[in-house]
Amino acid sequence: MVIVRAEKPEDSEDRLAIRSIQEAAFGRRHEADLVDGLRSEGVVLVSLVAELDARIVGHILFSRMSIETASGCLPAAALAPMAVLPSHQRRGIGARLIRRGLALLRRRGERIVIVLGHPDYYPRFGFSSEKARDLQSPFPPGAFMAMELEAGALDGIRGRVGYPAAFGL
């Protein structure tokens, strides 16, 4: 049975497992380094792991980002990075991580979530490139998506998105 739980703060076993899953899923160190960078910057909102038989097989992280509008800065949550061990993909583990993460953010009063990802995958959770159409970003429109955790949260919102420094954008 898959259990989704919060990453334990300052727990070296969790950190090592998260690093190895990110590296295995993406085939490079960049995303694992991004997780470390976001922790150091103190911008992690939610970091969840999926455990199967006491082994961590998936990880998702949401961090604090902003939308700079003409009338001020609006907080949003960035979904990135997310990874499931290649041997455990396509079993719904990624979906469990996303849904739990979104539920936690909603409960904490977050209103907007932004993701850069596969346009075939994220719309099933409520993300759309249409919702992100008035948000300026350095990314191509199709893969840059937003969702509202509260209906109408993006109504009339125009502006440039600001990512944590760890993203290096």
Ligand X SMILES: CC(C)(COP(=O)(O)OP(=O)(O)OC[C@H]1O[C@@H](n2cnc3c(N)ncnc32)[C@H](O)[C@@H]1OP(=O)(O)O)[C@@H](O)C(=O)NCCC(=O)NCCS
Q: How far is the CB of 70 from ligand X (least distance, A)?
A: 30
> Would you give the distance in Å from CA 36 to the centre of its chain?
14
Smaller CB separation from ligand X, 20 or 89: 89
Q: Is 82 in the site for ligand X (CB under 6 A)?
A: yes
Q: Is 129 in the site for ligand X (CB under 6 A)?
A: no
Q: Is 34 in the site for ligand X (CB under 6 A)?
A: no
What six digits make up the tokens of 87?
Answer: 């041997």
Q: Is 87 in the site for ligand X (CB under 6 A)?
A: no
Rounded Cα–Cα distance for residues 88 and 30 (Å): 21
Check if the beta carbon of residue 11 is closer than 8 Å to that of residue 59. Answer: no
Binding ligand X (rule: CB under 6 A), the pick from 38, 48, 78, 94 is 94
Site string for ligand X, 3-32 (x = CB under 6 A): ----------------------xx------
Check whether the bond before 75 is cis (ω within 30° of 0): no
Q: Is 118 in the site for ligand X (CB under 6 A)?
A: yes
Fill in the amino acid letter for 109: G
Smaller CB separation from ligand X, 77 or 84: 84
**87: closest CA among 53, 115, 127?**
53
The CA–CA distances, whole Å, from 164 to 35, 80, 119 equal: 11, 11, 23
Number of residues that bind ligand X (CB under 6 A): 16
Judged by the rule CB under 6 A, the positions of this chain that interact with ligand X are 25-26, 82-84, 89-95, 117-118, 120-121
